[in-house]
Chains A and B, each alone.
Chain A
Amino acid sequence: MSIQETLDANVDADVDWEKARAILVFLLPGLTLFGVFSVGPMAYSVVGSFFAWDAFEMGAFVGLQNWSETLTDPLIINWDNLLAFTFPMGALPQNLLWMVLHVPLSTVLGLVLALLFADLRGKRILRSLVFLGFTTPTVVIGLVLLFVYDPQAGVFNELLRVVGMEGQVRNWLQEPQIAIYCLVAGGVWVQTGFSMLLYSSALAGIDPSLLESARIDGAGPFRRFKDIIWPLVKPVTAVVVIMGMIWVLRIFAIVYAAGGPSGGPNHVYSVLGLEVFRAAFSIPVEYGKAMVVALIELMFALPLAAYIARMD
């Protein structure tokens, strides 16, 4: 009934009821599931972040208490360590540090590989090899990193041994001040495949005659890149960057697999997702805190969503 009223109010006087009914039939099943399992829980988290929680039961309204407690929690932001730039700095700064390193590196590497492969024979196989990591489950990526950095069985330490840096061999993921960079490298390893794929398809769309005419005009390789290739692949960069940021915001399985639910020794590479998981689903259950941390993640995602919406 209320739906009909809204329809009435919004559509021209001559509402086509047959069409309106069809629209409802098409929309309703999908939107119901979307509402119940996506939008509803999101709203629930927003509301719940202002209430006290007794395990999974919502209690009294407490205003910003969850927020202030969470933001002063050293697991989320450890101000002292942050100012001294020693780990653990808290999940929020660590997550942001990850983003700041991961996104530019994977973007640039993706572009470099796309350009490198662009006109080689067998480029499809080369690309597939690089892209393989992105189709691999992230939990496997985490385990692979654990394996790579293993002091005995890890290929990274073997590399150090081969180049004569025997003294540097160690369990890299147990080194508080270094571990996160080792994981970021792993993230870049995976994400580069994705940005390379997008850049490759953008490069494939460039009309070769453009490059030819630029060459006839006397442009060298650098100028050709700057004047022709870059302007044409620039829009893709926005997409690559946004997707990279969303990927880092959601990071969970890699960290969990490499360092367990605590996010490494003394939480040195914990991220926001991990904090939500521990707050909500390990004893003691802190639903309020979990919701606040998840909402902090959302706040970083919202501008990205707004940007995507504007692109459309």
Chain B
Amino acid sequence: MTHISLQGVTKYFEGGDIVANDSIDLEVEDGEFLVLLGPSGCGKTTALRLVAGLEHPSEGDIHFDDERVTDHSPSDRNVAMVFQNYALYPHMTVRENIEYPLKIRDVPPEERDERIEETTELLHIEDLLDKKPAELSGGQRQRTSLARAIVRKPAVFLLDEPLSNLDAKLRMEMRTELKRLQDELDVTTIYVTHNQEEAMSMGDRIAVMNQGTVRQVAEPEELYNRPRTTWVAQFIGSPPMNLIGGTKRNGTVELAEGTSVPVDASSDSGSDTDSAPVSLGVRPEDFSVHGDSTDADRAITGTVETVEPLGEFTIVNVDVDGTSVKAKVPTTGVERGDRVHLTFENHDAYLYDERGELLP
């Protein structure tokens, strides 16, 4: 269907005072479900609006397949968009809302009826056709707005935080449904969210954005397993990855107070005698907590500050030389004030250099 490509796309606002997007390069494959993930204000919505044509890039180009669409208005791009607040036309019924894009595009009435029927069946809103948006629940509005987007058979499907106004239960439901729809329709989709769970569960690939730039584009698993920067590492996962400052020397990382941890990963790098400041990253779920001394190679020692049992698992906050380190474990017998050892496997450790880049 459609391959989307952004090349060096930059967007300034207010005469350059605000840089919303800074030189973004991004390829979205045909039929792919790409998630733009990032904190609020990171420019992900601007990026989506640039693709929609609601904003015009200050620099750079956007291509749909081989066609340059940078200067095309939204109506010439054959994209459909679902807005955070659904943006249903309040004076039209559900049917009129769904019909609107078809009517605007002069689709003949018989075909309109057919497609409306098809779409509303797909989304299970056949019974709501004569209601006004004000009479609908949040979930029903969401479905109507999806129907309005789908009914057109667009080349590209753009979703801007579509689930953020729904309650938790409905959000889970719609997440599954959206994924199913996208699989069925096989339309290239860009999905904006700040919710990493949504991103991880739905995206074929995830583009993590911060401060107007794309930090990493990867499949969910890779993003979790090989976060390329400390920023991404801390953004993905809950609670976020622990980062402990130290110095790398001769294949080990020396943390404060003489703790040192061997790391294999760096054996091939330049000269072993050089020392360099690094951050050691370990995800909370990769730690094991031991009350007794342990003979494991990789152990960090600290004092338990708090224990937060959350049912499914327990979070243990450990003070390691003034740094608070979190461990996420199924159960634990430790208590506040206990000396504990946190152990982890070699492949669960990440090393980041001073600039926050992952060391090979």
Partner-contacting stretch, out of A10-18, A282-290, A297-305: A10-18
> A14 to B73, Cβ gap below 8 A?
no
For window 15-63 of A, CB contacts with B under 8 Å fall at: 16, 18
Q: With the chains together, A14 CA to B58 CA distance in Å?
A: 7
Render B47-64 as a binary contact track against A, CB cut-off 8 A, 1 for contact. 000000000101000000
Interface of B is mostly: loop
Number of interface residues of A (CB under 8 A): 4
Render B236-247 as a binary contact track against A, CB cut-off 8 A, 1 for contact. 000000000000
Q: Contact partner of B15 among A12, A16, A18, CB < 8 A?
A: A12
CB distance from B80 to the nearest CB of A (A): 21
Q: With the chains together, A65 CA to B58 CA distance in Å?
A: 58
CB contacts (< 8 Å) of B56 on chain A: these are 14, 16
CB contacts (< 8 Å) of A18 on chain B: these are 73
CB contacts (< 8 Å) of B73 on chain A: these are 18
Q: With the chains together, A273 CA to B31 CA distance in Å?
A: 72
Render B71-84 as a binary contact track against A, CB cut-off 8 A, 1 for contact. 00100000000000
CB contacts (< 8 Å) of B58 on chain A: these are 14
Q: With the chains together, A253 CA to B73 CA distance in Å?
A: 54
CB distance from A31 to the nearest CB of B (A): 25
CB contacts (< 8 Å) of A14 on chain B: these are 56, 58
* B12 nearest CB neighbor, chain A only: A12
Q: With the chains together, A14 CA to B73 CA distance in Å?
A: 14
CB contacts (< 8 Å) of A12 on chain B: these are 15
CB contacts (< 8 Å) of A16 on chain B: these are 56
Render B6-21 as a binary contact track against A, CB cut-off 8 A, 1 for contact. 0000000001000000
Q: With the chains together, A14 CA to B57 CA distance in Å?
A: 9
Q: With the chains together, A16 CA to B73 CA distance in Å?
A: 10
Q: With the chains together, A18 CA to B75 CA distance in Å?
A: 12
* B13 nearest CB neighbor, chain A only: A12
* B16 nearest CB neighbor, chain A only: A12
* A15 nearest CB neighbor, chain B only: B56
Q: With the chains together, A12 CA to B55 CA distance in Å?
A: 13
* B15 nearest CB neighbor, chain A only: A12
CB distance from A23 to the nearest CB of B (A): 15
CB distance from B348 to the nearest CB of A (A): 49
Render B188-210 as a binary contact track against A, CB cut-off 8 A, 1 for contact. 00000000000000000000000
Q: With the chains together, A18 CA to B72 CA distance in Å?
A: 11
CB contacts (< 8 Å) of B15 on chain A: these are 12
CB distance from B276 to the nearest CB of A (A): 45
> Chain B: residues with CB nearer than 8 A to chain A?
15, 56, 58, 73
What would be 5 A-B contacts, judged by CB atoms less than 8 Å apart?
A12-B15, A14-B56, A14-B58, A16-B56, A18-B73
